[in-house]
Structures are given as structure tokens and as C-alpha cells.
């Protein structure tokens, strides 16, 4: 059975951080689903201005972490800031972490890990402006292309997308029965 990856995003996601990992996952044979608070389309942010819309496959109210094998959290400053105010989004992050499934967050995406309260004693990375938030949530923050701690995969910025995507694909390929975080 094909493994499924939930991409949790809303308006203001960083265009490259959603589209490039999504493409890499699909090329590797995985199914992806863009999940958002509302149906229709969400609009990306492309470096300095609004980017292209992306079709929403399912809304948060229509999904359950048990129906997916991994979670991808793209960054962009606006996207995770809006999502961390959505109780359903925060609960999904918690559910994936508690199930021990791969959770990959890039750039500002780890803000959702802070909100879900899943970073105590975890080694992670993220965009420089959120590193204090990560530390305050109990994480050991490092500055490297990819930080992996158990089921958590984190990266800093769009330049890290190839390594970030590779590690998520590797985690999915190696995945057997999920182990709680």
C-alpha cells in the first residue's frame, strides 16, 4: 500500500517549502495530501511577494493522523503563525508525534512543534528568528542543514530542501511500526 504524507499548510506558506518536498515525495512513490483549515486553494508566499495558489485536498476537520504515515510542515512566516492558532492543526501535530510517525518541519514550520508542546529535550533546527522560541520550548537548538531526533526532522531554510526531503523520504522508506515519541 502506498504511504501517505499529510502536508499541513494555509495561506502564506513558503512556496518552495511546500512544492519542492511534495514533488520529491511524489517522485519517490509516496502519495501527498495538502490539508488546510478551509477547502479550495491556499496562496503561497514566494520570497518577497504572494506566490501561486495550491489546491487543498482535505480540510483539517476531514482528516485523522491515523490515515497518514508522515506529516510535512512547510514554513513561511505567515503559514505556521496562522496554523498555531487552529486547535485542530495543533492537535494533528501532537497526534503524529505521539504516534511516533515522521514529522518534518522546515524554516518557521517548527513553530507548530512549539505550540504542540513536543520539543522537550529534542534536538531541532529552524529559521534563526524562531530559535529562541524553540529553546524556550525545551529544545536543544542546532544550526545545521537537517536535525533529526527520533521521529522529528527539521531544517532551517529553502536551501536545505534537498537534504530535508531526502531525510523524510528515507524515514518513510525505513518506517515500520510507529514508535511513540
The residue from 108, 131, 156, 157 that is catalytic is 108
CA distance readout (Å), 141 to 5, 112, 127, 131: 26, 15, 11, 7
Separation of alpha carbons 50 and 14, rounded Å: 9
The answer to whether residue 97 is catalytic is no
Contact criterion met (CB below 8 Å) for 12 and 83: no
Pairing state of beta strands 49-55 and 41-46? antiparallel
Q: How many CB atoms lie within 10 A of CB 77?
A: 17
What are the beta bridge partners of residue 59?
36
Out of 6, 107, 119, 139, the active site residue is 107
Q: Which residues are catalytic?
A: 107-108
Amino acid at each position: 500500500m502506498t504511504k501517505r504524507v499529510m502536508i499541513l499548510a494555509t495561506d502564506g506558506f513558503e512556496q518552495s517549502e511546500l512544492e519542492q518536498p511534495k514533488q520529491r515525495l511524489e517522485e519517490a512513490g509516496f502519495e501527498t495530501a495538502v490539508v488546510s483549515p478551509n477547502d479550495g486553494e491556499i496562496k503561497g508566499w514566494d520570497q518577497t511577494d504572494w506566490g501561486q495558489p495550491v489546491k487543498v485536498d482535505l480540510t483539517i476537520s476531514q482528516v485523522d493522523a491515523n490515515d497518514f504515515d508522515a506529516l510535512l510542515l512547510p514554513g513561511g512566516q505567515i503559514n505556521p503563525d496562522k496554523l498555531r492558532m487552529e486547535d485542530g492543526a495543533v492537535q494533528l501535530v501532537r497526534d503524529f508525534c505521539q504516534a511516533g510517525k515522521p514529522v518534518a518541519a522546515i524554516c518557521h514550520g517548527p513553530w507548530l512543534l512549539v505550540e504542540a508542546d513536543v520539543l522537550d529535550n529534542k534536538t531541532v533546527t529552524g529559521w534563526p528568528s524562531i530559535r529562541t522560541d524553540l529553546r524556550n520550548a525545551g529544545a536543544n537548538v542546532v544550526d545545521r542543514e537537517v536535525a533529526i531526533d527520533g521521529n522529528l526532522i527539521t531544517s532551517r531554510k529553502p536551501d536545505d530542501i534537498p537534504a530535508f526531503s531526502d531525510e523524510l523520504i528515507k524515514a518513510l522508506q525505513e518506517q515500520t511500526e510507529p514508535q511513540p515519541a
